[in-house]
């Protein structure tokens, strides 16, 4: 006779052993990250030098440091750079983008000069830009203006001091504001540094009352985009809309503020793409470019100009 314990034992299932692990599959090699292309640029000093090669920079200050290292000079000796031309040609000025095949010419400090100016009109006729590394310089001189009548002042001259007050390290909009606020009928002194020139550039004095479309400096389909405070990136050449809108915004910067800055204009166009109204656009500009303190009427003009560029480009 079966005992209850025996019946319980017969009805109980034997414990299941865990299944053996599957045989190991052949290990897959880890995905190899896409190698970043090595970007090497050729460079010379604009007044004449052997050709150097530079790489590994992510912003304008680092670019100037690399050029200075290649030629054994201090970075502060460099006033500005042009692309594919050794001449003081503001249409070839290095801005926020470098074509991957562009040749960089560095314009360094030459002679220092002082000029006395009497402000007989509200506007001096200067358009100021800067090199992104603490050096503001003259980009345009308006025909028939006060400055136009002073032969010693030339396009490309760096403004080092106003009335013995150093403006080294100031941004272009700060220098333009200082010049606008100078009282009329009182003489003031500008200390200027002209770029060192090669023999074939002596006597050159470029000025224009018109502002032609900035020359396209890229020679390929991609450019190296230099951004303030962020790493450089390789990008496609700007679209027709981006170029048209940036040009219109840059024109407004000149008429309102007396500066030209293609990179600033491009940043404003990019900001507009993230917004749906002029009010939202104004708020975004305040958050990313608040130091400029753009007046409301200027922001409205910029928004309208970008919209016109969009319509023009279909």
Categorize the per-residue pLDDT at 6 as very low, low, confident or very high, splitting at 50, 70 and 90.
Answer: very low
pLDDT given for residue 23 in this prediction: 59
pLDDT at residue 301 greater than cutoff 50: yes
**Cβ neighbours for 109, distance < 8 A, ≥ 6 positions apart:** 77, 79, 158, 193, 195, 196
pLDDT at residue 11 greater than cutoff 70: no
Categorize the per-residue pLDDT at 4 as very low, low, confident or very high, splitting at 50, 70 and 90.
Answer: very low
Categorize the per-residue pLDDT at 37 as very low, low, confident or very high, splitting at 50, 70 and 90.
Answer: low
pLDDT given for residue 12 in this prediction: 44
Note the pLDDT tens digit of each residue in 149-192: 999 999 999 999 999 999 999 999 999 999 999 999 999 999 99
pLDDT over 70, % of the chain: 79
- Global confidence as pTM: 0.74
pLDDT given for residue 238 in this prediction: 82
Note the pLDDT tens digit of each residue in 208-252: 433 333 334 444 567 776 766 566 677 777 889 999 999 999 999
pLDDT at residue 5 greater than cutoff 50: no
Q: Count CA within 13 A, CB hemisphere, residue 145.
A: 20
């Amino acid at each position: 006779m079966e005992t209850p314990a025996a019946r319980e034992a017969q009805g109980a299932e034997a414990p299941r052993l865990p299944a053996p692990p599957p045989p190991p599959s052949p290990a897959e090699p880890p995905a190899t990250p896409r190698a970043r292309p090595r970007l090497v640029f050729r460079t010379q000093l604009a007044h004449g030098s052997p050709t150097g090669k530079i790489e590994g920079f992510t912003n304008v200050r680092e670019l100037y440091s690399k050029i200075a290292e290649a030629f054994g000079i201090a970075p502060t000796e460099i006033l500005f750079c042009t692309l594919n031309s050794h001449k003081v040609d503001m249409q070839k000025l290095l801005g926020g983008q470098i074509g991957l095949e562009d040749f960089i010419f560095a314009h360094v400090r030459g002679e220092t000069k002082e000029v006395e100016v009497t402000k007989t009109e509200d506007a001096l006729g200067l358009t100021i830009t800067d090199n992104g590394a603490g050096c503001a310089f003259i980009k345009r001189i308006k025909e028939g203006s006060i400055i136009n009548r002073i032969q010693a002042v030339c396009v490309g001259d760096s403004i080092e001091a106003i009335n013995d007050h150093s403006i080294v390290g100031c941004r272009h909009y700060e220098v333009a504001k200082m010049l606008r606020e100078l009282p009329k009928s009182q003489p003031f002194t500008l200390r200027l540094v002209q770029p060192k020139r090669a023999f074939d550039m002596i006597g050159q004095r470029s000025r224009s009352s018109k502002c032609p479309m900035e020359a396209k400096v890229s020679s390929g389909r991609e450019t190296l985009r230099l951004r303030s405070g962020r790493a450089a990136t390789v990008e496609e050449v700007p679209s027709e809309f981006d170029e048209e809108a940036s040009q219109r915004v840059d024109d407004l910067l000149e008429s309102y503020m007396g500066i030209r800055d293609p990179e600033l204009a491009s940043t404003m166009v990019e900001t507009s793409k993230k917004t749906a109204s002029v009010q939202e656009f104004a708020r975004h500009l305040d958050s990313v470019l608040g130091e400029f303190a753009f007046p409301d009427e200027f922001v409205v003009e910029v928004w309208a100009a970008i919209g016109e560029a969009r319509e023009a480009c279909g």
